[in-house]
Chain A
């Protein structure tokens, strides 16, 4: 062995532990897997947030699993193969994962990363599977919103919808406006005695016939999804049934709202408004993002009509953190990063609205997402959507009614009979009260 080689070996021998020490001192890289759905703008917004997250946390690498459809099926397969992601989007099925102990109880881990304060989240914004166990708060909110094509109001000489909750239309006023904005092919509006309901060119109003469409009016009329004590089904109360009946009357009595069949051939909400098929639309606030896409479209937002008092609600999904994650701290960091409106701010300018209270009260934060006269936030937005919902929000049945998915699966088929006029709302809701009461297990929030 030559001297040189020996020297080299000695040097190596000396350096090796130093080398070890070096790598050990640098932080270990954590690899996380994040699964999500959503198309177009949502994917872009979330991707940007993740890229920023990686920049802020150089030791964490996030593998993105974008699964636009069949999410549950694929997640199910990943769980079965012990390859569940660390953090992912989730639907109401997360409750089952929570009960089965697959995901973390957010309340237990929250203190590991205090960047989101639980005090900043309203009680009804948590997805819970028991009083003390939650999958986490909404990752963002959405809410019902009344949107309209302003040109159609101007042409018909009708005053624009009010933007303050205290000025909200009564239901009768709302019906009358809708009548003035519904036209048959001969140009007669729905108040005209010769109006032809069989041949409608433009509808005054279209709304979602799902629970998120009619529930604000049930609330406004003093009804609730379950009785106050959570012991029984609530939509068969006279107040709730009356509110639902009045929505059905828009279709079958006043002919200002498309029938379910006619609705199915109308384009999406934003396009239907733009192409003058409908003058007003009550749909989820995510539609603002679609409406923002056309620059010169003259659209606006108003407050919802009311029965007794102004009521609305927020709803939203949440992220879940799997217990199989190798780094809970990093996973929670990613979770809290994505649900922080500041990091996905582009999405909060149209698609979403924040779920954190401070974003509704702190003027600096409000300016970040609700600045008016921007593409997704027309004049009046702060009154008509932001304040009116925040100040009059009730719990959303989706996450606050136990067994909601199964109860709703009985409600909407029964409502088909109401929308097509073959049953009254009272009859339809009474007809399903028994099977629903067997599923009712109270409120949770």
Chain B
């Protein structure tokens, strides 16, 4: 960034220096917070991942033993937890993104009572996960649950539909439930949609493009940065899913919802292997990092930034 220099060089430098200093001061609380409460514990957990730390704080170096235990399959749950979590991510992320995107488009329509609808769809997001889990425990109950009752009401046979009580359907059920709390993503999409320049739609219409063309050639490319952002955050959030397993299924049935973070929690607080839990956490960190980087790499192919000729702003 260049600014036409009208002031003398020295005054500008002094001003910049002071501005710099003030800037750091403003950033200090956040920076300190990050160093003390995020980076510090992260470094500590990396360290403890190579020890046999227990809940009493005693530890000794054991090298790569924690990692060896995980990858060799001597740990009964590592691969299971990884596989179940991957299934959940693969299923819930597209569901959440597509649903939130469609919802945002619907909420962006000029209809009466627009803000009421927006509030309604955002509401579940501010309900604590524990409460949401309890609500869905009822909704998904095979015998008395609202969902199966409605399905029976329209004449469907719900006999085999056991939702979270069947190991084949527990992950789809929890994915379905996760769509309910996509208010945050929807709001980001909504903001993105309102940023799409109207003249592009007009231009498409003038060229004879219909609703599909407007969506395909204007909305989608213009929304791709927002999509990209939401994809990254949703991916990360989905890998870290925990409460649903903790509250609703206890990882079951038959470990079919043994999510990775739940497995980590159990390693630390049921089996008292803190060191091993640290190592488990680092493996997840690396997986999330790798997946996010992969998404970043592919973003060149499909994310369109408005400034510049399709390049990055």
Contacts and interface: CB of A to CB of B under 8 A. Distances in A.
Contacts of B65: none
Given A261-B142, A420-B165, A93 B254 contact: no
Contact of A410 (B55, B76, B138): B76
Contact of A413 (B57, B142, B254, B270): B254
B170 to A, nearest CB: 10
B144 interface: yes
Given A413-B251, A416-B254, A97 B165 contact: no
Nearest to A431: B254
A123 B270 CA distance: 25
Given A97-B56, A260-B165, A265-B143, 15 more contacts: A72-B269, A75-B55, A93-B269, A96-B54, A96-B55, A96-B272, A100-B56, A101-B56, A262-B142, A262-B143, A405-B271, A409-B271, A413-B255, A416-B252, A417-B254
B56 A79 contact: yes
B253 A97 contact: no
A418 B231 CA distance: 39
A37 to B, nearest CB: 14
Nearest to B248: A264
Contact count band on B: 20 to 34
Contacts of B143: 259, 261-262, 265
A265 B269 contact: no
A122 interface: no
B118 interface: no
22 contacts: A93-B269, A96-B56, A97-B56, A100-B58, A102-B56, A102-B58, A259-B142, A259-B165, A260-B165, A260-B253, A264-B165, A265-B137, A265-B143, A405-B270, A409-B271, A413-B252, A416-B252, A416-B253, A416-B254, A417-B254, A420-B166, A435-B76
Nearest to A84: B56
B54 A100 contact: yes
Contacts of A25: none
B165 A261 contact: yes
Contacts of B266: 409
B141 A264 contact: yes
A405 B269 CA distance: 11
A414 interface: yes
Given A410-B76, A420-B253, A261 B162 contact: yes
B141 A76 contact: no
Interface string B130-161: 00000001100111100000000000000100
A102 B266 CA distance: 22
Contacts of B252: 412-413, 416
Contacts of B255: 413
A281 B70 CA distance: 41
Contacts of A261: 141-143, 162-163, 165
Nearest to A80: B57
Contacts of A101: 56, 58
B76 A93 contact: no
A264 B250 CA distance: 12
B138 A93 contact: no
Most buried by B among A93, A100, A102, A261: A261
A257 to B, nearest CB: 14
A135 B270 CA distance: 18
Contact of B55 (A76, A414, A416): A76
A79 B57 contact: yes
A265 B141 contact: yes
